[in-house]
Each structure stands twice: as C-alpha cells, then as structure tokens.
Structure 1
Amino acid sequence: MKQTPMTIRGAQKLREELDHLKSVRRPQIIEAIAEAREHGDLKENAEYHAAREQQGFCEGRIQEIESKLSNAQVIDITRMPNNGKVIFGSTVTLFRVDDEREITYRIVGDDESDIKANLISVNSPIARGLIGKEEDDVAVVKTPSGDVEYEIIKVEYL
C-alpha cells in the first residue's frame, strides 16, 4: 500500500478524533444500546436501531482513521531547511496577477484540505502548479475557467 503524505497537524487532528471516538463516542453508543435494550422488543425499537446505526458509523470511522494513520507518511516541514522551494507542507504567499489579489495557501494532504482555511490538497491543480517552483517564480495554473498566473512572493516552512 502506498504511503500518503500528511502534515504533523493533520496527523494530530486524526489522532484526536480517533481518541474522542474511542474514549467518548463509543462508550456513549454502548450505553445508548444498553438503555434501548431495556425497552423490550428490539424489532420495533427505534432507539435501539438508531444506536446500532450510530455504532456502525462510529466503528467505520475508527477503522478509516486507523487505516489513514497507518498509511501516513508524516512530514515535519519545520525540520527542513527552507531553500525557498515550494514543497509538500510549505505555506506559500502568492500574488494572483489577473485580479491583483494576494493569497496564502498551505499545501497539505488530501484529508487535511479545507479551502476556507486556505489549506489546499497536494493533488489540487494549484498545488501541482506550485510544487517545485521557488520564490519570485511565476506559476501558471490550468483551471476549468482558463489559465491563472501567480507570482510566488514568499515560501515558508511553518
């Protein structure tokens, strides 16, 4: 199985979610199932069926997170010397030429991406257009609405 790149922050968030699911959510669901069982006939017991369904979702998510963490290649960008090159995990400040806007993105793994928080997937068109470039380079990113030109202002390894 191939390893998936992940930042330290991304791995930490998954571990926290996993811990919450195992230590808080799982016991709550087990309690809800036990309570619902006390109500008698399980065939027509909506609370029981709802709790069992939640248990299925919870256990599925636990397995998914454990799998992601076992296949993760956690990359600590802060331990790398900053040579001004855009790499996985770097934070890049760009100048978008067409509308003269400045924007900052962090290049992260697929599971960590959140465009509202300016976290873009390493597999996104923007990240693919930036990786390997350096400060002061111009990157042309192909988008469905046409090519977008970015000047790379600053590359940080935060």
Structure 2
Amino acid sequence: MTRIPLTARGAEKLRDELKELKSVRRPAVIKAIAEAREHGDLKENAEYHAAREQQSFIEGRIAEIEAKLSNSQIIDPTKANANGKVIFGATVDLADANSGDEVTYQIVGEDEADIKQGLISVQSPIARALIGKEEGEVVDVVVPGGTRELEIVEVRYQ
C-alpha cells in the first residue's frame, strides 16, 4: 500500500480524533443503543436505527484513521535537506504576477488540507506545480479559474 505523507501536526490531529472516537463517542453511542433497545420493538424504533447508523459511522471512521496512521509517513520539513526547494511540509510565500496579491501556503497531506488556514494538499494543482521549485522562480498553475502565474517569494521549513 502507498505511504500517506503527513506532517507531525497532521498525525497528532488524527491521533486526537481517534482517541475522541474510541473513548467518548463510541461509549456514548453504545449507551444510546442500549437505551433505545429498552423501548421495545426494534423494527419501528427510530432512535435505535439512528444510533446503529451512528455506530456504523464511528466504527468506519476509526478503521479509516487507524489505516491512515499505520500507512503514514511522518515528514518533518525542518530535517529535510531541501536546499531552498519546495518540498512536502514547506511553507511557501507566493505573489500573483498579474494582481500582485500575496498568499502563504503550507503543503500538507490530504487529511490536513484546509485552504482557510493556508494548508493545501500535496495533491492540489498549486502544490504539484510548486514541488521542486525554488525561491524566485515563476510557475504557471492551472486552476479551475484559469492559469495563474505565481512567483515563489520565500520557502520556509517550519
């Protein structure tokens, strides 16, 4: 199976979610199922069916997180010898060549991506265009809105 790249922060978030699911949400749904069973006929018991559906979701998410963590590769960009190149985990300051707008993105794993926080997936068009490039280079990025010309202003490994 393919290794899933994660930053240390991303792996920690997944571990925290797994702990929450196992220690809080799973016991709560088991209790809800037991209470719903006490109401009698299970065929027409909406509370029971809703609780079972919730339990199925929780168990599926637990299995998904455990699989991701067991197949993950934690990458620490501060320990990589990237020589100024954009790599997984790097934080990149970009300037739009046309508008002059500046943005900062950190390239992270798919599960960590959150554009509102400046975290973009390594699978995104912008990240794929940036990987391997250096400060001062200009890259053309094909995005849903067309092609953008972005200059790499600074690359940081935090």
Q: TM-score, normalised by structure 1?
A: 0.95
Moved over 3 A (4+): none
**Residue 8 (structure 2) pairs with residue 8 (structure 1):** yes
**Residue 157 (structure 2) pairs with residue 157 (structure 1):** yes
Task: Give the match for residue 107 of structure 1.
Answer: 107
How much has 1:112 moved relative to structure 2?
1.2
Task: Give the match for residue 22 of structure 1.
Answer: 22
Residues 1:51 and 1:144: Cα distance change in structure 2 (over 3 Å): closer
Q: SS at the partner of 2:84?
A: coil
Q: Is the 8 A contact 1:108 1:122 kept in 2?
A: yes
The sequence identity of aligned pairs, in percent, is 66
Alignment of 1:22-101 (within 5 A): 22-81=22-81, 83-101=83-101
What is the count of residue pairs matched by the alignment? 158
Q: Can you give the 5+ residue segments of structure 2 that lack an aligned partner in the other structure?
A: none
Q: SS at the partner of 2:105?
A: strand
Aligned CA RMSD, in angstroms, stands at 1.2
Task: Give the match for residue 139 of structure 2.
Answer: 139
Larger displacement relative to structure 2 (58-67 or 108-117): 108-117
Q: SS at the partner of 2:52?
A: helix
Residues 1:77 and 1:35: Cα distance change in structure 2 (over 3 Å): same
Q: TM-score, normalised by structure 2?
A: 0.95
